[in-house]
Structure formats: C-alpha cells, structure tokens
C-alpha cells in the first residue's frame, strides 16, 4: 500500500488520531485495510510508544550515589505489610528517610502518625492546615491551635499545600477555594510555622502546557490534556500564581518554603532562579517533574550548578524500585534518548543531567538535613 500522507489532524476525544487526508490516492485500499488495528492511519497518538534503538547508552543506577532524604511522598502504604515492603524498597535503592506529606489534620493525621510509628527513623510526617471557617472574619485562631496540636503529636512540617489557580485546596477535610497562600488570613499560620520550625511545602500552578490551547501547537499535549486548565474560567494564570508565591515568601521571611515541582516552572527555570536570588527562605523540590526537565539536560545541569544549595530530591510518584532508579538515572548519568512510561506521558525522550557528586550530595540529603533541622 502506497500512500501520501498530506496532513496530520489531531482529534481529541479519548485519543488523538493520525488520519490520511487524501482519499483519492488511497482509492485502491480496502475498508479492511483502513480498519486494520495495525494500520498507522488508525494509530492513536496516545498509543504511540516508541522504543529507543540507540545503543551504548544505558547506565542503570541500582542504588543512589548518597543516602537520600525523599522530601516529597504521600501516605501510599495502606497496611502494615505495605509499609514493611516500602521500607525494604527504600533499603534496596538507598532512600534513608521519606517525608510523608499527608495534607491532613485532626484524627486523620493522628491515625497516620500511629500507622507510620513502626519506623520512626524512616518516615517524617507533615500535616495540613485546617481551613474550616476560612470565610469567617474570625478565621485563624482555631487553625493555629490545630497546627500546634499536630506539631505536638509529631508533625515536622506542613504540606503539601496546593493551589492551581482557584485557591488552596489540598488540605483535608476542608478546601479553601478563593483564598491563596498570600492572603492576610494565612499570615498567622505561616508565622506559627516559622516559630515552630515547620517548613511549608506548596504546590503552585501547573506546568505551562496545561494553560495553553489544546491544539496541534501544544508541545506537551499528551500530558497537558489530562491536567488542562485552559478551559476553566476565573483561574489565576501561571504568572499570577508565581506572583502569589513570591508575595507569600517575601511577606514571611522567617518561614521556610519549599516550592514543589520546581514551582512548576520547568519551561523557564529562570523564574525559579530569580525567586531564589531574592528570597533565601525559599527552596524547591524536583518531584514528579523529571519528564519535564530531562528533555533539557544541559539547561538543568547549569541550573543545579548555580542553585545547588536550594534544591531537594523528591518523588511524588508512588512506591517502585524502578521509579526510584529512573530518577537516579536522570540525575546521575549522561544517558541520552531513553523512555520510561511509568513516570512520563509526554512524547519526548529523556536525557540524564549528569550532575557531579558534590551537587548530588546536596540535593539528595545535605539541603534536606538543613531544612528539617536534622543532625547530619
């Protein structure tokens, strides 16, 4: 079958379809050929999963170069057996401690403290903020009191707070849509975090592709469509969310902030770099943005070199030896053009940052020890 593909049309419903646009030249094809599941004309872009054929380019990392403090995970283990298995995986790959960002307060937080107490030296728990009554004029006192209580039962930090443009909503059980981290109502909570030495991890915005039109020009379309924000009215855009983050960090200089996922500025790391330059109380984790940054390894290498003291390791991608090892490969090797469908749904391949040992040690553990006020 000889065809001339004159156009590629993206049709987004449940998938994105490669389609032939010149029926006259394909007049000799049978309906069966067109309907063949193996026909490229019927291939959904979401199902396109190329395999790299480049040779001499594989340097898997079985165990991290230094003992790691994973600054961004969640309470994935749902039973004692799962928790035991998680610790075994951590041992196998070189994760010394894991920060569990629970979002939770009250009895829900207390139950997690109890569940993870079997391994007090391996897991560090963060609590959330209780936003109950945030619309009321007297909001604040009760939330601060609950924060102090969570601290007394074991919370070492707060997070993951989340705001994708509509307001704070990750903490459980109450969402605070309409209130952002720089809102005056948040000031007493953030000041109390500083007093108690509790760092605040916050997810602001989303990667830039989620704000762009969902069309053929969107470079990150394959992942962006799932998490799209372009079709939501009244949402603060990416630039606006960066301003909100900057306001909060600047207004609370004694509070330590960790911007999750590079502050979702992978497309332009200078945005985060400028914040680092101006605010010494700001750090960032690299969790769940390996795919977004492993496509620009030289830029990322320069960024890590310049801001090695401000970046920490995180995963935020479940529990899996393969997942951990892919993150090590991205950080530690100079491998090029490889895929890992478990941590990336973009069309592009990944490339290693090739970070030197002195930077890896800071990112893997030294910076986290300082943030968490732990002895090295």
Instruction: Evaluate if residue 18 carries a pLDDT over 50.
Output: no
Q: Do 24 and 164 sit in the same domain of this protein?
A: no
Residue 33 has pLDDT above 60, yes or no: no
Helices marked H in 182-335: 187-196, 221-224, 238-251, 270-278, 290-293, 297-306, 321-332
Is residue 167 scored above 70 in pLDDT?
Answer: yes
Residues 5 and 74 in one domain: no
Nearest Cα neighbor of 98 from 78, 126, 66 is: 126
Instruction: Examine residue 53 and state whether it is found in any structural domain, yes or no.
Output: no
The stretch 52-60 carries a mean pLDDT of: 79
Q: Is the pLDDT score of 171 beyond 90? A: no
Q: Calculate what percentage of the chain has a pLDDT beyond 70.
A: 90
Nearest partner of 69 among 117, 121, 143, judged by Cα: 121
Into how many domains does the chain fold?
A: 2
Whole-model pTM: value is 0.87
Q: What confidence tier does 112 reach under pLDDT thresholds 50, 70, 90?
A: very high
The CATH number of residue 208's host domain is: 3.20.20.140
pLDDT value of position 48: 76
How does pLDDT run across 255-307, given as a tens digit for each residue?
Answer: 999 999 999 999 999 999 999 999 999 999 999 999 999 999 999 999 999 99
pLDDT at 4: 36
Q: What is residue 76's predicted lDDT score, i.e. its pLDDT?
A: 97
**Closest alpha carbon to 168 in 140, 198, 130:** 130
Q: Residue 354 domain-assigned?
A: yes
What range defines the domain where residue 29 resides? 1-48
- 36 pLDDT band, cuts 50/70/90, is low
Do 173 and 305 have their domain in common?
Answer: yes
Pair 44, 73 in one domain: no
Rounded average pLDDT over 102-111: 97
Question: Taking 90 as the threshold, does the pLDDT of residue 227 lie above it?
Answer: no
Min mean pLDDT across 16-25, 110-119, 314-323 is at 16-25
DSSP bridge partners of 59: none
pLDDT exceeds 90 at position 214 = no
pLDDT score recorded for residue 34: 46
Q: Which helix (H) or strand (E) holds 167?
A: strand 167-168
- Tell whether 54 is covered by a domain: no
In a 13 Å sphere around the CA of 262, the CA atoms on its Cβ side amount to 25
Verify that 348 and 310 share a domain, yes or no: yes
What pLDDT digit, counting tens, does each position of 315-348 carry?
999 999 999 999 999 999 999 989 888 888 888 8
Residue 303 has a pLDDT of 98
Query: What DSSP string runs through 56-104?
Result: S-----SS-SS-EEEEEE-----SHHHHHHHHHHHHHHTEEEEEEE---
14's CB contacts (< 8 A; 6+ apart) are none
pLDDT band at 22 (very low <50, low <70, confident <90, very high): very low
In this prediction, residue 107 has a pLDDT band, given cuts at 50, 70 and 90, of: very high
pLDDT at 20 over 50: no
* Nearest Cα residue to 34 out of 44, 26, 25: 26
Sign of the torsion formed by the C-alpha atoms of 138, 141, 147 and 153: negative
Q: At residue 13, does pLDDT exceed 70?
A: no
- Residue 42 included in any domain: yes
Lowest mean pLDDT among 3-7, 147-151, 170-174, 314-318: 3-7
Opening angle at CA 73, ends 69 and 78, nearest 5: 120
CA distance 73 to 319: 9
Whether residue 98 is predicted with pLDDT greater than 90 in this model: the reply is yes
Instruction: Note whether 44 and 72 are same-domain residues.
Output: no
pLDDT band at 37 (very low <50, low <70, confident <90, very high): low
- Do 18 and 75 belong to one domain? no
Buried/exposed 253-276: b ≥16 CB within 10 Å, e otherwise: eebbbbbbbbbbbbbebebbbebb
Place of tokens 């924060």: 147
Same domain, 171 and 296: yes
Is there a single domain that holds both residue 328 and residue 185? yes
- Co-location of 38 and 80 in the same domain: no
In a domain, 149, yes or no: yes
Q: What is the pLDDT of residue 284?
A: 98
The tokens for 85 are 């298995």
Confidence of residue 86 (pLDDT cuts 50, 70, 90): very high
Highest mean pLDDT among 9-18, 177-186, 224-233: 177-186
User: What pLDDT is recorded for position 332?
Assistant: 98
Residue 62: inside a domain: no
Confidence of residue 60 (pLDDT cuts 50, 70, 90): confident
Is the pLDDT reported for residue 226 higher than 70?
Answer: yes
- Asked, for residue 55, whether it belongs to a domain, the answer is no
Whether 57 is in a domain gets the answer no
Q: Are residues 167 and 259 in the same domain?
A: yes
- The answer on 148 and 32 residing in a single domain is no
Task: Report the helix count and the strand count for the chain, using DSSP H and E.
Answer: 13, 10
Question: Distance (Å, rounded) from C-alpha 257 to C-alpha 247?
Answer: 12
Cα separation of 239 and 84, whole Å?
42
């Amino acid at each position: 079958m000889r065809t001339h593909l004159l156009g590629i049309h993206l049709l987004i419903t449940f998938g994105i379809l490669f389609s032939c646009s010149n029926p006259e030249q394909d007049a000799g094809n049978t309906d069966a050929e067109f309907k063949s599941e193996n026909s490229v004309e019927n291939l959904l872009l979401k199902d396109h999963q190329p395999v790299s054929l480049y040779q001499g380019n594989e340097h898997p990392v079985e165990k991290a170069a230094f003992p790691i403090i994973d600054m961004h995970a969640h309470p994935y283990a749902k039973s004692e057996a799962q928790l035991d298995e998680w610790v075994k995986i951590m041992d196998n790959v070189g994760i010394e401690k894991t920060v569990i960002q629970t979002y939770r307060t009250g009895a829900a937080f207390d139950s997690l403290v109890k569940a993870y107490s079997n391994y007090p030296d391996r897991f560090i728990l963060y609590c959330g903020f209780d936003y109950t009554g945030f619309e009321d004029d007297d909001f604040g006192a009760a939330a601060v009191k609950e924060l102090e209580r969570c601290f007394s039962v074991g919370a070492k930090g707060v997070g993951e707070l989340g705001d994708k443009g509509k307001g704070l909503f990750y903490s459980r059980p109450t969402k605070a849509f309409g209130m952002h981290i720089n809102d005056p109502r948040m000031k007493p909570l953030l000041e109390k975090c500083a007093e108690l030495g509790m760092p605040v991890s916050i997810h602001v915005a989303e990667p830039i592709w989620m704000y762009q039109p969902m069309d053929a020009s969107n470079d990150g379309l394959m992942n962006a469509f799932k998490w799209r924000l372009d079709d939501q009215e009244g949402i603060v855009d990416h630039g606006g969310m960066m301003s909100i983050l900057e306001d909060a960090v600047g207004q609370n200089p004694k509070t330590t902030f960790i911007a999750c996922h590079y502050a979702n500025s992978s497309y332009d790391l200078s945005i985060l770099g400028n914040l680092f330059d101006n605010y010494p109380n700001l750090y960032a984790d690299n969790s769940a943005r390996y795919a977004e940054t492993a496509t620009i390894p030289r830029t990322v290498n320069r960024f890590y070199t310049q801001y090695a003291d401000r970046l920490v390791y995180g995963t935020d991608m479940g529990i899996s030896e393969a997942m951990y090892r892919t993150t090590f490969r991205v950080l530690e090797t100079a491998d090029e053009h490889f895929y890992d469908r478990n941590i990336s749904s973009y069309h592009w391949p990944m490339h290693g940052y090739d970070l030197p040992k002195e930077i890896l040690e800071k990112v893997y553990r030294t910076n986290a020890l300082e943030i968490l006020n732990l002895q090295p």
